[in-house]
Chains A and B, each alone.
Chain A
Amino acid sequence: MTALIFLIFACIAVFCGISLVVQTHPIASALSLIGVMGSLAILYLQLGGEFIAMAQIIVYAGAIMVLFVFVIMLLNAGAETPTFQASTFVKYLGIVLLVAFLGLISFIIQAALPKTEGVVFGGFQGTAADVGRKLFTSYLLPFEVTSVLILIALVGAIVLARKEI
């Protein structure tokens, strides 16, 4: 059952990922991205990351997608018009390089991993309470410093969006 669910949502994720790149209209790409995010959330859930699955939905599928859509509207981006004609050589080289990169990664994983055990589905270790305990003990400092990161993102957006200084 778990393997089946995994396969279904993994396929959806890959399908939406390809669709994201292939679509010419930015809004359609953004919607495909929601599909990727949603199915990834299910995969996280299967691996036991309850909290991270929820964060994935709230932050990525929710907030970040809103931003994407707003930016698309801000730029008034219509359907993609091919202004830049990449040479066929570059296109094919890109495909070859991508396949080589994926092959390399999978080769490394295949060569290195058989000895270790596979992924364990389930196991309640990534609940909000577990994350909370970690966050306020070992990871207290990164947690606090993250607020500075958020603050600076805010200042950056304001500075870059203003009309004049």
Chain B
Amino acid sequence: MPTSYSDTYFPVLVQIVIAVIVAAALVAISFLLGKHVKNRVKDSPYESGIAPTGSARERFSVKFYLVAIVFILFDIEAVFLYPWAVVYRELKLFGFGEMLVFVILILVGFFYVWKKGALDWSHEAPGDSPYGDPDAAPQSSVTKNAA
């Protein structure tokens, strides 16, 4: 049994260091060995494709944001599940019951999001979802800088 954090996590540190070195090395090698040709054609996104029109950055649908926030909330729930799972045997049925209450409350939220159609990405009824069609043309009001 290691006695200190430095001992326990030393391998992790070694791994981090190796990962950083490898990543840095890959970038450095391609920079050093690669040819640097700079002209208009080389800089275009697809050298032999269709000429790009408009800005590459378009506004995303608010649905992505909803998915992200639902993800955060369930992530927090998952974080609470770890310590519970570790001491589950000590807590016995009591811990199970308390965690059940916790999970049910959050599942209510999930059910609600579902019923509200916030997770509805179907194309069959685009007008139905109260959160708009994710593929609909963005109401671009600020994307005028790239012309």
Are B72 and A63 in contact, with the CB atoms below 8 A? yes
Decide if B130 touches A163 in the complex (CB within 8 Å): yes
For window 102-144 of B, CB contacts with A under 8 Å fall at: 102, 105-106, 108-110, 112-113, 116, 118, 130-132, 138, 140, 142-143
Evaluate contact between B102 and A59: CB separation under 8 angstroms.
Answer: no
Q: Is the CB of A128 within 8 A of B101?
A: no
Q: Does B86 contact A (CB under 8 A)?
A: yes
In the assembled complex, B68 has its CB within 8 A of some CB on chain A: yes
The answer to whether A158 and B112 have CB atoms under 8 Å apart is yes
- Does A157 sit at the interface, judged by CB under 8 A? yes
B6 within 8 A of A: yes
B79 CB-CB contact with A under 8 Å:
yes
Interface residues on A, range: 35 or more
| Any A CB within 8 A of the CB of B65 | yes
Contact with B along A133-165 (1 / 0, CB 8 A): 101100010011011101101110110011110
Given known contacts A5-B6, A122-B4, A136-B91, A147 and B106 CB-to-CB distance under 8 angstroms: yes
Which chain A residues border B73 with CB–CB below 8 Å?
150, 153-154
Cβ of B31 under 8 Å from chain A: no
**Chain A residues whose C-beta falls within 8 Å of the C-beta of B13 in the assembled complex:** 5
CA distance A161 to B118 in the complex (A): 9
Cβ contact within 8 Å between A151 and B109: yes
Q: A78-B145, A158-B66 are in contact. Are A151 and B105 (CB under 8 A)?
A: yes
Of the candidates A2, A58, A122, A162, which one forms a contact with B78 in the assembled complex, judged by CB atoms under 8 Å apart? A58
A76–B112 CB distance below 8 A: no
Contact residues in B for A132 (Cβ distance below 8 Å): 82-87, 91
Residues A135 and B6 in contact, CB atoms below 8 Å apart: no
Q: Residue on B with the closest CB to A8?
A: B13
Q: Are B6 and A122 in contact (CB under 8 A)?
A: yes
Picked from B9, B59, B116, the residue with its CB within 8 Å of the CB of A76 is: B59
Please indicate the chain B residues that have their CB under 8 angstroms from the CB of A144 in the complex.
98, 101-102
The 3 closest A-B pairs by CB, nearest first: A132-B83, A132-B87, A154-B109
Q: Which residues from chain A sit less than 8 Å from chain B, CB to CB?
A: 1-2, 5, 45-46, 48, 51, 54-55, 58-59, 62-64, 66-67, 70-71, 73-76, 78, 121-122, 124, 127-129, 131-133, 135-136, 140, 143-144, 146-148, 150-151, 153-155, 157-158, 161-164
